[in-house]
């Protein structure tokens, strides 16, 4: 197995712990969608949330450990952004589908997907000059905000189904009386209802903020790539 250094990265294919964490995060991305194929809701929502949050945490630890243990590699540098994009894109597709194509989710999700495809295309076009589009601090904040928004929206689905299950068979007047506090809440409808409402609005605000940051970083990358796009072929 050949090994060496290039641009400060180990070029060997060593299966270090940081690289293993990155690979596991990549495999966890489709696992989020698979949860909804094998489990009924709201359990699928909770399992998807747990898997997504666990995978998102590895995004911090793999980079931290690679730097601390001096195990940064070209393999890890290549795979890390791919794993992040796979997680975000697949999770957004799942959330958008189960939201009934709600425009408050569909529009920011579309903007995020557009930017990811656009920047990936820029990097592919630039080839050996792709190092011009190095990941910036703002881009890292963008990814973090995307993952937090997605996690919050997964919890919304869980609260929504718990509330629906517990209130099944009740008429609207009874539900209103319980939420208003005029009838004893023996099933915990109040906290499930407000958990659903608050997590929904928080998730939407976070997702739109993530979409704005996503477009801002996309524009920054485009400006950096512009000098390479002006020349003749």
Q: How far apart (Å, rounded) are the C-alpha atoms in residues 186 and 179?
A: 11
Global pTM value: 0.83
Q: What is the pLDDT of residue 3?
A: 46
* Domains by residue range for the chain, with CATH: 13-224 (1.20.120)
Q: What is the pLDDT of residue 190?
A: 85
How high is the mean pLDDT in each 10-residue block of the chain (233 residues)? 48 73 91 91 89 89 78 77 90 91 94 91 76 76 92 90 80 81 81 90 96 92 80 60
Query: Can you give the pLDDT at residue 2?
Result: 43
């Amino acid at each position: 197995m050949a090994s060496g250094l290039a641009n400060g990265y180990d070029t060997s294919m060593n299966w270090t712990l940081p690289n293993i964490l990155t690979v596991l995060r990549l495999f966890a991305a489709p696992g989020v969608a698979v949860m909804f194929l094998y489990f009924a809701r709201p359990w699928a929502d909770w399992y998807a949330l747990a898997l997504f949050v666990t995978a998102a945490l590895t995004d911090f630890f793999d980079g931290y450990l690679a730097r601390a243990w001096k195990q940064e590699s070209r393999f890890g540098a290549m795979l890390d952004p791919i794993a992040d994009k796979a997680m975000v894109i697949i999770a957004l597709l799942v959330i958008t589908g189960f939201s009934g194509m709600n425009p408050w989710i569909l529009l920011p999700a579309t903007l995020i997907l557009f930017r990811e495809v656009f920047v990936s295309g820029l990097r592919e076009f630039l080839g050996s000059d792709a190092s011009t589009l190095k990941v910036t601090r703002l881009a890292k904040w963008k990814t973090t905000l995307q993952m937090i928004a997605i996690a919050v929206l997964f919890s919304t689905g869980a609260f929504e189904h718990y509330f629906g299950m517990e209130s099944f068979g009740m008429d609207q007047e009874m539900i209103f009386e319980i939420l208003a506090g005029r009838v004893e809440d023996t099933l915990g409808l109040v906290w499930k209802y407000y958990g659903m409402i608050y997590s929904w609005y928080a998730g939407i605000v976070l997702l739109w903020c993530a979409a704005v940051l996503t477009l801002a970083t996309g524009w920054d990358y485009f400006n950096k790539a512009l000098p390479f796009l002006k020349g003749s072929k």
